[in-house]
Amino acid sequence: MNAPKAAAPAAISDGNRVAKVIARAGICSRREAEVLIEQGRVTVNGTTLTKPGVKVTADDLVRVDGEKLPALDPPRLWRYNKPVGLVTSHKDERGRETVFDALPDHLPRVISIGRLDLNSEGLLLLTNDGGLARSMEHPSRGWTRRYRARVHGEIKDGMFEPLAKGVTIDGINYGPVQVKLDRKPGTNAWLTVSLNEGKNREVRRVMEHVGLKVSRLMRTAYGPFQLGSLKPGELVEMPHKVLKEQLGGDLPDIKKSTGRNSGGNKKS
């Protein structure tokens, strides 16, 4: 970057933090944007930033590595049936294939709303909007995540009742988990598991806590959004009308978060 380093411009009270604006434009996550700022790779109106606390408005010109930010698209949401064996990460240090490697090339850069681990499958929501993702993940929304789990082990009367009050496992507190026995063919059983938190490997850990081993785990719903008849690897965009019905005023207003920028988005 050719621009000389200078003191960061004063924060603008009615603007957005520049890292948020960069993330909203689909360049990277907010945390990654903060690292770019600390590395001196971001300028605002020609001034190189070194601290992430600066705010910008639509009148400011933000550049990353000398390039204007891409133009902002309206918030979009896709339902994706994640197959087993894909990592829900943009980069994997072990070189494994990720969800984002498997997506069609025509998609803009998207991020996941929550995660599914390597051996889990089913509904994964994807969006081009970081603000929308954080809003939909926030515990205050109270959305239920529903799973179908195939488990191995002995099913005993009342064994799931303590889970409805929440449990602590290895010092980690898990909120209420509702479990319904669907069917029990042989030594395996199919369960419907509903929870509101979705902590890392929560279903598997909670089932292990009551003596059951999960051999297959599929998410079937995330709040009002359903897996439905999607086949593994299939991707379907939700109509904007549905987003407005489900999210209402929580949909980010791109007019309030855009910078004076132009360009295009692409999948990373």
**Whole-prediction pTM value?**
0.75
* pLDDT for 164 beyond 90: yes
Asked if 206 and 130 sit in the same domain, the reply is yes
* pLDDT for 244 beyond 90: no
d(CA 142, CA 19): 27
Given this model, what pLDDT does residue 198 score?
Answer: 79
CB-based burial label for 196 (10 Å; 0-12, 13-18, 19+): middle
Residue 142, in any domain of the structure: yes
Known catalytic residue: 117? yes
Residues 65, 92, 101, 117: which is the catalytic one? 117
Asked if 51 and 110 sit in the same domain, the reply is no
Given this model, what pLDDT does residue 8 score?
Answer: 37
* pLDDT for 225 beyond 60: yes
Residue 39, in any domain of the structure: yes
- Radius of gyration for the chain, computed over Cα atoms and rounded to the nearest angstrom: 21
Asked if 212 and 265 sit in the same domain, the reply is no
Percentage, residues of the chain above pLDDT 90: 57
Residue 26, in any domain of the structure: yes
Residue 86, in any domain of the structure: yes
DSSP-based three-state secondary structure for 246: helix
Asked if 126 and 154 sit in the same domain, the reply is yes
* pLDDT for 214 beyond 80: yes
Asked if 81 and 99 sit in the same domain, the reply is yes
Residue 205, in any domain of the structure: yes
Number of separate domains in the chain = 2
Which segment of 22-31, 126-135, 166-175 scores lowest on mean pLDDT?
A: 22-31
* pLDDT for 154 beyond 60: yes
Asked if 54 and 93 sit in the same domain, the reply is no
Asked if 130 and 216 sit in the same domain, the reply is yes
Asked if 202 and 260 sit in the same domain, the reply is no
d(CA 182, CA 160): 13
Asked if 238 and 261 sit in the same domain, the reply is no
Say which residue, 234 or 72, is predicted with more confidence. Answer: 234
Asked if 122 and 184 sit in the same domain, the reply is yes
Task: Kindly report, residue by residue over 32-85, the tens digit of the pLDDT.
Answer: 899 999 999 999 999 999 888 899 988 899 999 999 987 777 889 999 999 999
Asked if 1 and 98 sit in the same domain, the reply is no
Residue 247, in any domain of the structure: no
Q: What is the CATH number of the domain that holds 178?
A: 3.30.2350.10
pLDDT band at 268 (very low <50, low <70, confident <90, very high): very low
- Domain of 39 in residue numbering reads as 1-74+252-268
Which segment of 150-154, 216-220, 225-229, 247-251 scores lowest on mean pLDDT?
A: 247-251
Percentage, residues of the chain above pLDDT 70: 87
- In this structure, what token pair is assigned to residue 133? 């993702």
Given this model, what pLDDT does residue 14 score?
Answer: 58
Contact 61, 49 (CB under 8 A): no
* pLDDT for 264 beyond 70: no
9-19 mean pLDDT = 61
In whole numbers, what is the pLDDT of the chain averaged over residues? 85
The rounded Cα 32 to chain-centroid distance in angstroms is 15
pLDDT band at 92 (very low <50, low <70, confident <90, very high): confident
Q: What is the CATH number of the domain that holds 10?
A: 3.10.290.10
Asked if 83 and 70 sit in the same domain, the reply is no
* pLDDT for 162 beyond 60: yes
